[in-house]
Amino acid sequence: MRIALIGCGKIGRRRAEALRESKGGVLVLAVDRDLARAESVATDWRCQASVDWGEAIRRDDIGAVIVSTTHDALAGATRAAAEHGKHVLVEKPMARTPAEAALVCRALRDAQGNRRLAGDRRPLVVKVGFNHRFHPAISKAHTLLEAGSIGEPYFVRCRYGHGGRRGYADEWRFNVEIAGGGELLDQGIHAIDLFRWFLGDFVEGVGFTHSYFWRASVGAAPRGADVEDNAFGLFRTTSGRVATLHASWTQWKNLFAFEVFGRDGYLIVEGLGRSYGAERLTWGRRHPDWGSPDEEHFDFSDPESCWRAEWEEFLAAIREGREPSGNASDAWQAIRMAYAVYESSRNGGVVRLPQ
């Protein structure tokens, strides 16, 4: 398959590297509004460069696109690609708002219908970049949960954050028109997606968002006031399962901790590699006699394999004609949950999430 990359920043390069490592397709076009960045990727991957993402959408020789832009361009590029019959791997959160996400889902449904009318029964695949599903520790934890290793799951909690960097408040993430939100739509959306993956759909959300440090740090520049640097969320399913989240840009030492507790034990994932520390899964089993639980530890030396594993899932979904793990509907649901926290923080009280 011939692939175009739209967005040649740090994450776009990671996607291109995963494509090369998996040998699943060939990159033929690199697009970025900064021509120098596009040309840098084009040189390294021996492909063409452009500043016009419409070229990637229009070209008949391109079968799939990777959309790895700032948040404001994700939904528009994805919709256009789907309307032109391209498979898409789009970075999270896929859209800035639930309404934008719903338009992507509608465009995908319409494109599917048009393909069927034209006699093409193969589904169009839109995969969202929820790469945390493919981190080896998280993937194994999910497999253990599905196998009944901790019995009926009761609750999940996640703490996730970093401390920013010098000049962080001057970056695009602090412009609400571009980003759509702050830390909740940045790292928090990964945790929300995992909540749904592990526990199913949620029907209630409540929470608080605050701008603590970064709002004060921007001085005369008002942009930091538009987005939160800390988000606290609480969600509940119809069966009473609960998920809790604290996502933070004031976590001065980078942290990822994801915990699932059930009737018979627990699963704890700590670290994501690099500055988040070694990736480890702990599987604990409750003793019937209430003694200290038995624990088994799994250490993973290649957390960066998540990028390659996610790309291979995208290709497998195309090849097998099925929905990918982490699809457009998953993104829409996750954004709805994030916006339930925003609404709750703004107006108070619990926000219902109709199914």
User: Domain residues of the chain, as ranges?
Assistant: 2-131, 132-307+335-352
Relative to beta strand 294-300, strand 153-161 is: unpaired
Least confident of 13-27, 29-43, 140-154: 13-27
Alpha-carbon distance 218 to 215, whole Å? Answer: 6
What CATH class is the domain 2-131? alpha beta
Alpha-carbon distance 211 to 232, whole Å? Answer: 12
Alpha-carbon distance 270 to 257, whole Å? Answer: 5
The CATH number that domain 132-307+335-352 falls under is 3.30.360.10
Residues 6+ apart with CB under 8 A from 323: 123, 125, 317
Alpha-carbon distance 236 to 199, whole Å? Answer: 10
Give pTM, 2 decimals. Answer: 0.96
Q: Is residue 179 a contact partner of residue 317, using CB atoms and an 8 Å limit?
A: no
Whether cis (ω within 30° of 0) applies to the bond prior to 324 is no
Tokens of 219: 């001085």
Phi, psi of 289 (to 5 degrees): -95, 10
Average pLDDT over residues 113-127: 89
pLDDT above 70 covers a percentage of the chain that reads 97
- Could you report the per-residue pLDDT of 324-354, keeping only the tens digit for each? 999 999 999 999 999 999 999 999 999 999 8
State how far the alpha carbon of 131 is from the alpha carbons of 48, 152, 238, 251, 274, in Å. Answer: 27, 25, 27, 21, 15
Relative to beta strand 242-248, strand 153-161 is: parallel
Nearest-5° Cα angle at 159, 158 to 164: 140
> How are strands ordered across the β-sheet holding 2-6?
48-50, 26-31, 2-6, 64-67, 87-91, 126-129
User: What's residue 225's pLDDT?
Assistant: 53
Relative to beta strand 279-285, strand 294-300 is: antiparallel
DSSP 8-state symbol, 154: E
The chain-wide mean pLDDT, for the chain, equals 94
Nearest-5° Cα angle at 332, 326 to 336: 130
Least confident of 118-132, 138-152, 212-226: 212-226
pLDDT beyond 90 at 214: no
pLDDT beyond 80 at 218: no
User: What's residue 170's pLDDT?
Assistant: 87
